[in-house]
Structure 1
């Protein structure tokens, strides 16, 4: 196997890992709290809505940033 093929496979594996991490961050930081509050399983009802929304936006942007980094890293495929 030549070096370019090895490099490409490692890069694709890294991009996949970043993408999975980004997805996990969005699920954990946005969807899980939203579902918990909706179902009444969380005490987040005591948290001001601004803090809840701001926190969700930060988690969402973090997930999107990791997805963007994954896509950006694939530009250097050989």
Structure 2
């Protein structure tokens, strides 16, 4: 089982780490990445770059998107 804990007060980290290490079978893996909206900062930045590189011809309309979704739902339902 994995568990993620975010500690806002850095001064509490040594205490929390020691407490968790005292539990049987606990392994601490430190994440050195800054997290933005649940994603490591470097990944978030690459996603932003990709979004900025998109051109109008790369995009589809909301109407076309939902049409595509409806077609896929029909395909899945017809397989039953």
Q: TM-score, normalised by structure 1?
A: 0.30
Q: Choose between structure 1 and 2 for higher RCO, CA contacts under 8 A separated by at least 6 residues.
A: 1
Q: TM-score, normalised by structure 2?
A: 0.30
- Select the structure of larger CA radius of gyration: 2
Q: Relative to total residues, which structure has the larger helix share, 1 or 2?
A: 1
